[in-house]
Amino acid sequence: MRELVKIAKALSDETRVRMLKLLLERNICVREMQEIFHMSQSQISRNLKILTDAGLLKRWREGKCVAYFAERDGNDIFSKVLLDALSKSFNDNPVVSGDRERMQQALALLLREKAR
């Protein structure tokens, strides 16, 4: 029961739900999240840590980039069901569409910076 309560608390914030929705679509670095959500690195990291501690995300470091991805293969049935439901939900939501658009812009910007 504790796992479900932890997941519910993690998903009680709209920004974390939006982050998780994007992370169900692709792996994203903290730097990219900053561009998408216009938040500081510490705010982004705090939200991602809450989702990670709830068993919804995994992370890895690639050079300076700390990247996150949705943990679909975990042992917790609650997280699997909720991630599956979230992946099928809000696809036509204007807020989520805006997040996706900013994600594409952030990726393009970071690619241009790397090309310099």
What pLDDT is recorded for position 116? 73
Closest residue by Cα to residue 115 from 44, 70, 107 = 107
Question: The whole model's pTM is what?
Answer: 0.89
What pLDDT is recorded for position 83? 92
Is-contact 86 56, C-beta < 8 A? no
How many Cβ atoms are within 10 Å of 93's Cβ, its own excluded?
A: 12
* Sheet bearing 65-70, strands edge to edge: 28-29, 65-70, 57-62
What pLDDT is recorded for position 113? 76
Domain 2-115 has CATH 1.10.10.60: no
Q: Would you kindly state where each structural domain of the chain is located, as residue ranges?
A: 2-115
Per-residue pLDDT of the chain (116 residues; tens, 9 = 90+): 788 898 999 999 999 999 999 999 999 999 899 999 999 999 999 999 999 999 999 998 978 888 999 988 776 788 888 999 999 999 999 999 999 999 999 888 877 777 77
